[in-house]
Structure formats: structure tokens, C-alpha cells
Chains A and B, each alone.
Chain A
Amino acid sequence: MKILILFAFILLVLAQWFVPGQMMIEKSKILSGGRALKFRTEPVDPYDQFRGKYIYLKFKESQVTRVNDTSNKSIDLNKDVYVSFKNDNEGFAKVDSFSNLPFPGKIPYVRANVYRESLDDSAKGTLEMLNITFPFEKFYMEESKAGPAEVIYRQRNRDSTSKVYALVYLLDGRAAIKDVYVNDTSISTLVKLQQK
């Protein structure tokens, strides 16, 4: 009996190591083998104040308006939805297409929650707005730095001369955020410079 309990305990210990370990391995796999994309950010709601230990990222590509043709109707938003990306002229990620199945080959894509916001009847067809929740919207920082970082993030996003973006690696529908940059400088470096 005692051996059985010990055996069960050892199994439990292994499981308790395996889960966080798996999270780390997965993350490093995406960072090493994934494709890097730059996601332009937008200012967050100003009333959405300091969140403590992370900055909440809002992306320009989180809202997509498009013509809802017959092929788009075949996407079932209650099932898993995959979003694929391509680069725009400036080298930032842009939503390319949606699918209920993973994309083949080397197309960068991610699994995300998508819902329809509104439908608008126009002469060309039906326009639909899709809201996408990406699995990389939180960027954790030390609690003394997350506050100033969020202020920088908000100010620079409103300033049209700065380019604020998150560097995200994508691999087989999974994503790992590397860092947040303002004009190619890491946001934590900016906070450090400001705090000096």
C-alpha cells in the first residue's frame, strides 16, 4: 500500500514538473523555430488604467473589416479559427485570411478567438467587422516598471512619428511574444533610461 502511494506521489511530482516545463519548452521552440512578425500596436483605452504587472497590448490588426463573400461564410466562428498573416509595405504583419483548419506550408498563422462585431449591407456586398483576440496581448514586466512602460506605450502610440510594435514569433499556430519596441528600441530599455 505504502509503495503504491509513493508511486502515485512520484507520478504527481513528475506531472507537476512536466506542465510548467512543457510551457517553457514550447515557448523556446516557438522562439527558435518560429517566424518573426512585427505587430503594430494601438493606444489602449485611456480609462483602462495601470494593470499592475503587465502592459496590455492592443493591435491595429485586432479589427478587420472585409467583404463577407460566400467563401467567408464557410468559417464557423464557434470552432477553432486560424488567422494567417503577410507583411505589408512597411514590414508589419497584416491579416491575410481566416480558416477553420491550420494553414499548410510555411504560411505564418495563429489560433485566435474571433467574433463578428457588426454587419453592414452595402451595394458591393455585405461588409463585416471581425474582432480578433490574439494569444499575445499581455507583456509582463517587473511591477515597478510595468506602470512607466504602460505610460510610454500609451504616449508613443498616440504620437504618429513613433512606430510601436510587438515582435512575435509564430510556429504551427502558436505564438510567443519576444519584446515590445518603440522605434526599434526595447520598451524596458526606454523605462530604464527614463528612470535614471
Chain B
Amino acid sequence: MNPSFLRELPNLIEEKIIDEETAQRIRNYYLNKPSQRSNILTSILTAAGALLAGLGIILIIAHNWDNLGSVTKTVFAFLPLILGQALCFYAITKKKGNRIWGEASAIFLFCAVGAVIALIGQIYHIDGTLEGFLLTWILLTLPLVYIVPSRLTALLCICCITWYASLNSDLYRSTRSDFWHYPVLMVLLAPFYYKEWKNNSSSNYFHFLNWFLVISILISVDSMSTGSSSKFPIYGATYLAILSLFYWVGKGKIWRDRNVFTNPFRIAGTLGILVILLWWSYEEIWRSNGNLFSFRTDTDETIWTNFRSLKYEALLYVSIIAFAVSAYLGIRNFFSENEKTFDPTGFTLIIWLIALMAGLPAGLFLINIWILYCGIYFVRKGALKENFGILNFGLIWIAILAICRFFDDSIPFVVRGLFFLLTGIAFFAGNYILIKSRKAKKSSPLA
């Protein structure tokens, strides 16, 4: 039911835009259409209810009632598990296709499994690690995503996998053998993601799933390191490679005509690349990290010795794969879209590596010019497409660069002043010209 729209109907009839018959047909259509909104609300409320009930039971039993013997405590610990399994069984056999039943029972069982492992650990004083607990929990509940099937359990699993990965992100450990856990656990969810992408790519849930995925990957990059190279800024390279991949995925067909907030890949890719570029546009960062990797270094630690130590670093291969795929997507995008200018943003990694090898001051200069160039690209694209959003995004990008350089003592006042002046003029002129050209098109009878 869409009451605000239906309220307009008498006005439309009065203005003779539609006739009474059409108005009635519209009313009937909305009257008979099943309301999607209330359905979504019921699902969310049921899921929240199941989650709260599950957590409540965990807390009550976790009190570890001392008066009860360990056998009684054990029986109580297993009760939520039995209840959750019974509910899931009922949902699978009797309520097949009922999303609310499936989601609520799966979430409850998800909580119950976590509870029973933790409680048995407590009752019997089993001193396990949090990592071990999370891994067991994930492996025992992830199949619910496919069996029940439950989409919300998939989100909970992504949260737990990210938590697990973040515990493994210990930069100080010299060697790490569990670097492959995160990608393998995420691959277990890949068939589910593929199915959602094929069948429900326009649903709200799919957008949520993508946001979870993007945030999870960005948090878990650390955990995929084998830890054998601490000095080479491999993290910078890996992040840039993954962000480039996000950037090109976000430019894909599926997201083209949609609201920008439903496209986490594009948002994370663009902002992430901008943040890394701005970070490396400061001289202090170069003084503390950058020069170590330049060819012109006085120490033995040249870029090649660092590269040699890198062959045992899993992140190197993660970056190579991510960047190879992203370069393929970027080049394909250029040819298939018939774009007039080559989009530089997604290729920032190459420039960053060249800048690192060049060292100070050439590398620093290159990074600054690159930020300016990316900004100009967006301005030009916005002007060509007559899109205020893209145009102003490019201008904001340039303005941020100007603000960052405002506090830079090494640049003369006059140069900084001129840069600011030009950015300001560009804001006015760009928007003004675009408005004018739009108006001219509207008034022209041929348009």
C-alpha cells in the first residue's frame, strides 16, 4: 500500500492527467499487491527476537550455577542446542520456503552452538584459546547457510570469520602458518554469494552482504600475511591492489544505474585509494618508511634484498592476483565502455611502486601530481557526462590535496596561494559552465 501516492490521485483526476477509470485501476493494483515492506519488517523483528532470546539463554546458563552438579549443568548447557536443532528441523521439514521460520531458527541455533561450546569449556575448566573457539563455532554453524537456508547466518558467519582473522593479525610474530585460514573460510561462503548474485542482486540483502564482504576483507588483509617481511611496505601494496580490484568491480555493469550507497566496492575503492595517496603525499611518511626502498639507499637493504625476502610472503601473491584481475577488469572497462579518457584511479599501484623506487623527492612529487591528475580526470568525466556529482567529486579531491599542502612549509606561499585560488575558481567555473550548458540544451528545440 502506498498511501502518499494514492492521496494524489484525486488531484491528478481534477487536472485531467488521468481519468477516473485509470485511477481506480491504480487503487486496485496497490490494494491487491502484497506489501513487501511489512514482510521485511517482520523478518527483521523475528531475527532480532531470535538473536536476543539466544543471547539471553547464553547469559542465564553462563552464570555457572554452583549449586548444580556438573552433570545437571551439562544437561542445561545442551538444552538450547536441542531446542535450536528442533526448531531448524521443523523449519526444514514443515515450513520449507518460509523465510521467517528459517532465519529465526538458524540464528537461534547459531547462538546455541556458541553457547554450548563455551559452557562445556567452563563447566569442565577447559582452557582453550578464543581463536580455537571461534573456528569451531564457525565450522559447526556455517553449513546452516546452505541447509536451512539462512541468509542472516551468512552475515553472522562473516562477522565471526572477520573476528577470527583479526585475532590472527599479529604483526610481531615471526612466522605464521595460519595465513590461509581467512581466504579458505571465505571461499566456503562463495557458492552462497554466487547464488545471491545470480538471483537476488537487486535485493537490499545483497547490498548488505557486499558491505559486510568489503569491510571484512579490508580488516582481514593482515591475517593473510606469513609475517616473513616486516620492512617492505607490502601492506601498502596489498591494500592498493585490493582497493583497485574493488574499484573496478564497483564500476561493473551490475551497479551502473544504482544508488551509490548500494555499491560498497566503488565507495571503498575510491576513498581507500585517495586515503593511501594522501598518506604518502606527506614527506614525513617518506622519511620514516619510503627511502628504505629506494634504489639510492646507503644501506644494504635495497629494494632487491627486500624483494628476495618477499618470496615467502603470502601477501605478495595476494597482491599480484588482486592486481592482475583488477588490471584485466580496468582494461576491459576501457574498451567495452568506449571511454574517451583512461581512468587512472584503478592503476594507482603502478605509480606508487614507481614513486617508491624513485625515492625522495621525485617520488613524493609524483604522488602529488597523481592525486591532481585523478582529480582532473573526475572533473573532466563529470563535465563530459554533465554529471554534477562526478564533477564536484573531482573538485573535492583536488581541494583536499590543496588543504593537505596548505600546512606544508616547503612550498612557497605564492605557489600555495595560486593553487588554492585556481581550485576555488575551478569550483565556480566548472559548476557554472555545466549549469549553463544544461540550460542551453533544455531551451534548444533540437535537444
Contacts and interface: CB of A to CB of B under 8 A. Distances in A.
B125 A19 contact: no
A20 interface: yes
B140 A27 contact: no
Question: Do most interface residues of chain A lie in helix, strand or loop, or is the interface mixed?
Answer: helix
Contact of A135 (B117, B127, B175): B127
A37 to B, nearest CB: 15
A12 B125 contact: no
Interface string A177-194: 100000000001000000
Interface of A: 2, 5-6, 8-9, 12-13, 15-17, 19-20, 23-24, 27, 53-54, 78, 135-145, 176-177, 188
A143 to B, nearest CB: 6
Contacts of B66: 141-142, 144-145, 188
Contacts of A144: 66
A16 B141 CA distance: 8
Q: For A13, A20, A78, A137, which residue has the most chain B Cβ atoms within 10 angstroms?
A: A20
Interface stretch (B9-17, B86-94, B404-412): B86-94
B127 A143 contact: no
Nearest to A20: B120
Contacts of B122: 53-54, 140
A137 B128 CA distance: 10
B295 interface: no
A1 B213 CA distance: 30
Nearest to A179: B125
A9 B64 contact: no
Contacts of A188: 66
Nearest to A53: B64
Contacts of A9: 88-89, 92, 147
Contact of A12 (B64, B65, B143): B143
A137 B126 CA distance: 9
Contacts of B124: 23-24, 27, 176
B143 A27 contact: no
B62 A53 contact: yes
B85 A136 contact: no
B64 A5 contact: no
A77 to B, nearest CB: 10
Given A6-B93, A9-B88, A13-B85, A136 B127 contact: yes
A95 to B, nearest CB: 18
Nearest to A191: B66
Contacts of A53: 62, 64, 122
A8 B246 CA distance: 35
B64 A8 contact: no
Given A27-B124, A53-B122, A138-B127, 11 more contacts: A6-B93, A9-B147, A12-B143, A16-B85, A16-B140, A17-B81, A137-B127, A138-B125, A140-B125, A144-B66, A177-B125
Contact of A143 (B64, B89, B96, B126): B64
Contacts of B143: 8, 12
Nearest to B117: A20
Contact of B125 (A2, A139, A145): A139
Contact of B117 (A2, A5, A19, A141): A19
Contacts of A141: 64, 66
The list of the 6 closest CB pairs from A to B, nearest first, reads A142-B66, A20-B120, A140-B122, A27-B124, A177-B125, A142-B64
